[in-house]
Structure 1
Amino acid sequence: MGNNSYQNPPAFHSDDIEPSAPEKATFHIIPVPWETSVSYGGGTADGPNAILHSSVQLEHYLDGSFPGDAGIYTADAVDCQGEATEVLARIQAATSKSLELGKCPILLGGEHAMTLGPVKACLEQGIPFGIVQFDAHADLRYAYQGNLYSHASVMERCTDLGVPLHQIGVRALCKEEADRRSERGVTFLDAADLYWKGYPEQLLPDDFPEHVFITFDVDGLDPSIMPSTGTPVPGGLNWYQAIDGLERALKGRKLIGADFVELAPQPGQHAPDFLVANLIYKFMEIAQRQGCL
């Protein structure tokens, strides 16, 4: 772990909400402090602890309800030492423990390469599901700098497994990725279209699975509100576009799990860390209010 100020983190939102036992909590927070293939700015290994530290500044009451009363359990951080395949197997196992208890895992990244772990765990459940990806990048390269398990290839690996994918907010992709979208039937609402046209009434295609896994790369947000990420691309989502997108992605669906990745905290900048903690707590509120759990 890089930044000593992020050591010994509290449980998520534990200032106001007594941590629940795993079998009693609706939400399982799983920290994944992994950083192995970042290609520009670094620091994602400190992301989970920064989110946990920031979470104790949240208000218990949110938009007319108390989302934390559904129960929040914070697991020990996944051991992220070793080869990528070993780390991914541990992430998968940690997610599987949550799913086997019938709970909703929310993983805290760490770099986006980690998403392959929970996706494999969800596949083990035998329930058809699709991935809804909020991101500045498509992450559909076959490999990046020779690494099949790069953050830039994680959605390629997930679609290798036959999981349907819908992307929101992308504004930086290569020709290979554009072609891959067409080849694999990836649907999308890119950032420019979202800015000029807004969200469609129905965000996901008619044939998209009922169960969804949400992966939220924080570089999907605009750098004006999210500078603390490895590749801050201009033209991203603002706060209310992000919330609206999550609302629409979960409408009429069942949530199987989620991750929030690529926070790279910067010394002296607490606002981005607190933003991600807020986003996760709001996500819990949306999932409960919409009956997605």
Structure 2
Amino acid sequence: MAPHFLEGEIPNEKPDKAAVHIIPVPLENTTSYGSGTATGPAAIIEASKQLELWDGSRMPALSGIHTAEPVDCSKEIAKTLDRIEDAVAYALECEALPLVLGGEHTVTLGALRAMKQKYGRFGVVQFDAHADLRNTYQGSPFSHACVMRRAMDDLRIPVFQVGVRALCAEEADYRKSQSVPCLDARKLHLKGIPTQVLPPDFPERIYITFDVDGLDPSVIRATGTPVPGGLSWHDVLTLLERITAGRQVVGADVVELAPTPGDHASDFAAAQLAYCLLGMSLPRD
């Protein structure tokens, strides 16, 4: 048996009894700078053994967490995306909240395909240093740099971006032409966090995708393309609290951790982020 999330604190709940399915996806197919995302899910699960079950307001782990076997990423990307979609669809069939652990950001596309089949209309809230809106990158439309473009163009899912501070001219033009709503890192620095983060007409159901490079490198340095000027830990918690209030979170992911030997702080921060995200995503009592 593979290690499970919060091992030593809680049992690995049966799939049909759990409120949450943790789905590890060790994908490293199109990383373009630093490498190591294939080991990200295992590092998060290992670090989760050190987490406190009390998240500051409640104990979401007691709702029951099932950690699935890692998705097989050994085949071509199309087959891997199908397998991710199947794993997320199974979590939804079990009436559980899927929390995907990546792996590079491309894993989100497989999850969104399952969400689209289940829910039809919903929105994606993307925490990221990068816009990920290129149509292709290094010859592939399935690069990690294209995942939000695939979500918008292929699946017709609205996207709200938080923390972006690195994008190319193509992405800036696409953002403008599609009126992509955003709250970039520079604006957050200058004006602070608004009381209402999401636009009033944004879908009530949301999927949260969190690339760990959205955080400042002082919080998580172990990622493929760290960018200075990122979000602080407490700003992220405030943003998540305001984003999730009054909305239904139908799924989430934490992606792009690229563990570095000796950097336990990054692994632990990613595990803490996953657990906090889980707590804010489950229905409030």
TM-score by length of 2: 0.97
Shift of 1:62: 2.3
- Alpha-carbon distance in 2 for matches of 1:86, 1:195: 41
Q: Which amino acid counterpart does residue 202 of structure 2 have in structure 1?
A: F
Q: What does residue 286 of structure 1 align with?
A: 280
The one-letter code matched in structure 1 to 2:76 is E
Deviations, residues 4-38 of structure 1 (Å, cap 9, x unaligned): xxxx7521002111221111111100000000001
What do residues 30-55 of structure 1 show as CA deviations (whole Å, max 9, x unaligned)?
A: 00000000110000000000000000
Which residue of 114, 117, 126 corresponds with 1:121? 114
- Which residue does the alignment assign to 2:138? 145
Structure 2, unaligned runs of 5 or more: none
Q: Work out whether 1:77 is the aligned partner of 2:70.
A: yes
- Contact between 2:2 and 2:69, CA under 8 Å: does it hold in 1? no
Write the distance in 1 (CA, Å) between the matches of 2:55 and 2:133: 36
Query: d(CA) in 2 for partners of 1:163 and 1:51?
Result: 28
- Which secondary structure state, in structure 2, belongs to the residue aligned with residue 56 of structure 1? helix
Per the alignment, residue 126 of structure 2 pairs with 133
Q: 2:42 aligns with which of 49, 53, 74?
A: 49
The runs of 5 or more residues in structure 1 that have no matched partner are 1-7
Is the aligned partner of 1:190 residue 2:184?
yes
Measure how far apart 1:246 and its partner are.
1.2
2:230 alignment partner in structure 1:
236
Normalised to the residue count of structure 1, the TM-score between the two structures is: 0.94
The Cα shift of 1:127 comes to 3.5
Contact 1:221 1:237 in 2 (8 A): yes
Give identity over the alignment, percent: 51
The equivalences for 1:129-278 within 5 A come to 129-160=122-153, 161-278=155-272
Task: Give SS of 2:50's match.
Answer: coil
Find the residue that maps to 1:203 and give its secondary structure: coil
Distance 1:125 1:240 in 2: 33
Segments ≥4 residues shifted beyond 4 Å: none
> Aligned-pair distance for 1:196?
1.2
Q: Does the aligned pair in 2 maintain the 1:252–1:290 contact within 8 Å?
A: no
- Counterpart pick for 2:8 among 15, 22, 27: 15
Give distance in 2, aligned partners of 1:237 and 1:108: 20
The residue identity in structure 2 corresponding to 1:192 is: R
Q: Deviations over 1:160-200 (max 9, x none)?
A: 11100000000000111011112223100000001111111
Q: Which of 11, 15, 19 is the aligned partner of 1:26? A: 19
Cα gap change, 1:245 to 1:290, in 2 (>3 Å)? farther
Q: Tell me the SS of whatever aligns to 2:132.
A: coil
Q: What is the aligned partner in structure 2 of residue 4 from structure 1?
A: none
CA distance in 2, matches of 1:177, 1:254: 29
What's 1:101 paired with? 94
